[in-house]
Every structure is written in structure tokens, then in C-alpha cells.
């Protein structure tokens, strides 16, 4: 059940058995036409958790009503006590508006760590499939893979300049397939399916992480199962759902 929007951050965090902190904006950087990086300071290591975790931030919704949104942590700098979020502006939501207008020294309520999809350390290869909103989560997870290992990214982009790259350990095998969204809607799986068709699944043990639009991720999951992956080898996280606003807890409805 979603938490009431008026519930204080401290009370909600206590119920979830996680942390609540007021974090300061350190910087805001436009990474690409669709991505903004916001760096926050305050109890960074504890809030950010492990690769794959996210945080819940409190922003202003319609009529300045407080509303919570969730974003995967991109990077943690323990020495500086900071963590960064990569926020997509492809959807005109309250968090995207906050990221666009955030000012240094602004404060924001943060709850974390959240999320139940860590990296599967037992896998020999890791397949990351999603849209531009998933890049921050994917890169942090891939950078935590122990070498030797393999990371494969199949990511659909709204703009070619959204192909922001990252650095990885030299011993890690990395393959990136960027798919141009073109005129397709964000609930059209055709682009990611074409990217997936261009990739041959390795014979050893792998794990797939599907982060993105609700309907698209379900179709991609079915396609991977058709190609031989088991349901246990697939982790799915819907970040948003076309045609519906995310709920008060920052997540889209999971109802069919």
C-alpha cells in the first residue's frame, strides 16, 4: 500500500526501516539532451546502499503538493560524502522539473536505501536492457562487477547525444548497443527487441536486468524467456508507465 503523501519523511523511513536525511544539492550538470546529473551531500554511503539501490526524494507536485519519486543512485563518493542521480527529462514529471531547476545549497528530503535488485554476483555475464532513464543504474551496477566478467548494454535513446559513456575496469568485457528511439513511443518495445535480436546470448550463466517502461519491460522479459533464460535469471524494475503518473510512493502501478 502506498504511504500517504502527507506522511513525514522520518515517519516513512522508520516504517520502511531505512534512513531519512535532508541532503544539500552540491551541483547540477546537464549530461545530454535528456539527462541531468544532480549531486547531493549527506550520509551518502548509508543512503545509497549497494549498486542497484535507489533513493526516494521529496519534490513538489501539482499545486505544490509534496510527492515522492524514486531514482537509482549513479555514483557514490565516500570521501566527499556525496552521491549522484541521473534524472531523465524525457517525461515532464515533478522530479524532472526539480532536476532542471535545482540550485546549489537547495535541500531535499531523501529516504534510502530502497530497491531489491542488486547485482547477481554469481552470473558470468550481465545484460542490461532499458531506456535512457536506466543508464545511471546500469553503469553503477556494471562498475561493481568483479573481473573477469562481461557487461552488455542494450539501451534505447531519445537523442544520439544521450549515449553518455562510463569507464570500467580493463578486465571487464563491455558491449554497448544503443538504439535510436526515432518516432516510436516510449511504450513501443520494437527498438529494444531489435537491439536484443542483434545480441547472441553467451552459453554460460548470465543475468538480465530490465529497467524502464512498464509494458516494454514485460515484452522484453517474455522475449528473453523465449530465448532460453529462466525467470530466475531476469530482474525487472518498471521505472514508469505510459498513460499513468507514478504513485505517491514514486512507483508506477503494477496492475494489468
Residue 50 grid coordinates: 549497494
**For residues 218-247, average pLDDT:** 93
Query: What is residue 48's predicted lDDT score, i.e. its pLDDT?
Result: 98
Are both 198 and 221 inside the same structural domain?
yes
Residue 226 falls inside a structural domain: yes
Are both 155 and 231 inside the same structural domain?
yes
Total-model pTM: 0.94
Are both 131 and 181 inside the same structural domain?
yes
Beta strands in 31-165 (DSSP E): 35-41, 54-60, 66-77, 82-88, 107-114, 125-131, 149-157
d(Cα 187, Cα 181) in Å, to the nearest integer? 11
User: Angle at which helices 190-197 and 214-226 pack, to 10 degrees?
Assistant: 30
Residue 216 falls inside a structural domain: yes
Closest CA to 135 of 172, 170, 102, 161: 161
Beta strands across the sheet bearing 206-213? 172-180, 149-157, 125-131, 206-213, 234-240
Are both 136 and 189 inside the same structural domain?
yes
Residue 3: pLDDT band with limits 50, 70, 90 = very low
- For 173, the domain range is 125-240
Looking at 47, 79, 113, the residue that finishes a domain is 113
The pLDDT of residue 82 is above 90: yes
**For residues 62-66, average pLDDT:** 84
Render pLDDT for 91-120 as a digit per residue (tens, 0 to 9): 778 899 999 999 999 999 999 999 999 999
The pLDDT of residue 256 is above 80: no
Phi and psi (nearest 5°) for 79?
-65, -40
Q: What is the DSSP pairing of strand 172-180 with strand 149-157?
A: parallel
The pLDDT of residue 6 is above 70: no
Residue 246 falls inside a structural domain: no
Residue 43 falls inside a structural domain: yes
Q: Which residues is 36 bridged to in the sheet?
A: 30, 87
Are both 40 and 108 inside the same structural domain?
yes
- CATH code of residue 155: 3.40.50.80
Amino acid at each position: 500500500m502506498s504511504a500517504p503523501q502527507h506522511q513525514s519523511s522520518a515517519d516513512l523511513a522508520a516504517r520502511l526501516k531505512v534512513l531519512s536525511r535532508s541532503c544539500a544539492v552540491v551541483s547540477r550538470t546537464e549530461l545530454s539532451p535528456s539527462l541531468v546529473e544532480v549531486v547531493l551531500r549527506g550520509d551518502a554511503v548509508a543512503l545509497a546502499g549497494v549498486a542497484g539501490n535507489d533513493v526516494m526524494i521529496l519534490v513538489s507536485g501539482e499545486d505544490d503538493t509534496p510527492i515522492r519519486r524514486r531514482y537509482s543512485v549513479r555514483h557514490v563518493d565516500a570521501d566527499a560524502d556525496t552521491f549522484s542521480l541521473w534524472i531523465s527529462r524525457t517525461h515532464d514529471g515533478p522530479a524532472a522539473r526539480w532536476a532542471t531547476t535545482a540550485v546549489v545549497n537547495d535541500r531535499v528530503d531523501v529516504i534510502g536505501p530502497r530497491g531489491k535488485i542488486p547485482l547477481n554476483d554469481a552470473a558470468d555475464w550481465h545484460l542490461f536492457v532499458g531506456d535512457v532513464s536506466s543508464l545511471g543504474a546500469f553503469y553503477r551496477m556494471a562498475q561493481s562487477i568483479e573481473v573477469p566478467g562481461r557487461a552488455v548494454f542494450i539501451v534505447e535513446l531519445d537523442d544520439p547525444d544521450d549515449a553518455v559513456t562510463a569507464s570500467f575496469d580493463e578486465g571487464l568485457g563491455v558491449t554497448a548497443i544503443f538504439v535510436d528511439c526515432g518516432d516510436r513511443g516510449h511504450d513501443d518495445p520494437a527498438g529494444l527487441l531489435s537491439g536484443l535480436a542483434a545480441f547472441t546470448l553467451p552459453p554460460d550463466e548470465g543475468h538480465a536486468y530490465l529497467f524502464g517502461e512498464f509494458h516494454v519491460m514485460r515484452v522484453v522479459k517474455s522475449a528473453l524467456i523465449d530465448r532460453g533464460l529462466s525467470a530466475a535469471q531476469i530482474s525487472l524494475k518498471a521505472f514508469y508507465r505510459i498513460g499513468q503518473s507514478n504513485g505517491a510512493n514514486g512507483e508506477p502501478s503494477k496492475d494489468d
